A = this chain, B = another copy of it.
Amino acid sequence: MTRFEFDITAKDDAARTGVIKMARGEIRTPAFMPVGTAATVKAMYPGHVRETGADIVLANTYHLMLRPGAERIAKLGGLHRFMNWNWPILTDSGGYQVMSLSKMRKISEEGVEFQSHIDGETIMLTPERAMEVQALLGADIVMAFDECTPYPATHGEAKESMELSMRWAGRSRKAFDANKDHARAAAVFGITQGGVYEDLRIASAKALKAIGFDGYAIGGLAVGEGQDEMFRALDFTVPHLPGDAPRYLMGVGKPADLIGAVRRGIDMFDCVLPTRSGRMGEAFTREGELNLKNARFREDTGSLDEKCGCPACLDYSRAYIHHLVRAGEMLGSMLLTWHNLHFYQDLMRAMRKSISEGTFSDFEGL
Question: Which positions in A face B, CB cutoff 8 Å?
Answer: 38-40, 42-45, 67-68, 72, 75-77, 82-84, 298-299, 301, 311, 315-317, 319-320, 322-324, 326-327, 329-331, 333-334
A330 partner residues in chain B, CB cutoff 8 A = 40, 42-43, 330, 333-334
Whether A329 lies near B45 (C-beta < 8 A) is no
Closest to A66 in B: B327
Taking a contact as CB atoms closer than 8 A, the residue among B42, B67, B76, B77 that contacts A331 in the complex is: B42
The one of B77, B299, B327 in contact with A38, judged by C-beta atoms closer than 8 angstroms, is: B327
Our pick among B40, B301, B319 for the contact of A68 (Cβ within 8 Å) is B319
Q: Which of B67, B298, B319, B324 contacts A40 (CB 8 A)?
A: B324
Number of copies: 2
Enumerate chain B residues within 8 angstroms of A44, measured Cβ to Cβ: 331
Known contacts A317-B76, A320-B83, A333-B330; A298 and B68 CB within 8 A of each other: yes
Nearest chain B CB to A326's CB is how many angstroms away?
A: 7
Whether the Cβ atoms of B42 and A327 lie closer than 8 Å is no
Q: Measured between C-beta atoms, what is the minimum distance from A118 to chain B in Å?
A: 9
Give the chain B neighbours of A298 by CB distance below 8 A: 68, 72
A-B contacts, 7 of them at CB < 8 A, read A40-B329, A43-B330, A43-B334, A45-B311, A68-B326, A77-B301, A83-B320
Point out the residues of chain B lying under 8 angstroms from A322, CB to CB: 68
Cβ–Cβ contact B39 & A323, under 8 A? yes
Which residue of B82, B299, B315, B327 is within 8 Å of A320 (Cβ)? Answer: B82
> Given A40-B331, A77-B301, A329-B42: A315 and B68 within 8 A (CB)?
no
A82 pairs with B43, CB closer than 8 A: no
Contacts of A77 in B (CB 8 A): 301
Compute how far the CA of A334 lies from the CA of B84 in the bound complex, rounded to whole angstroms. 15
A43 to chain B, nearest CB (A): 5
Q: In whole angstroms, what is the CA distance A311 to B319 when docked?
A: 30
CB contacts (< 8 Å) of A301 on chain B: these are 76-77
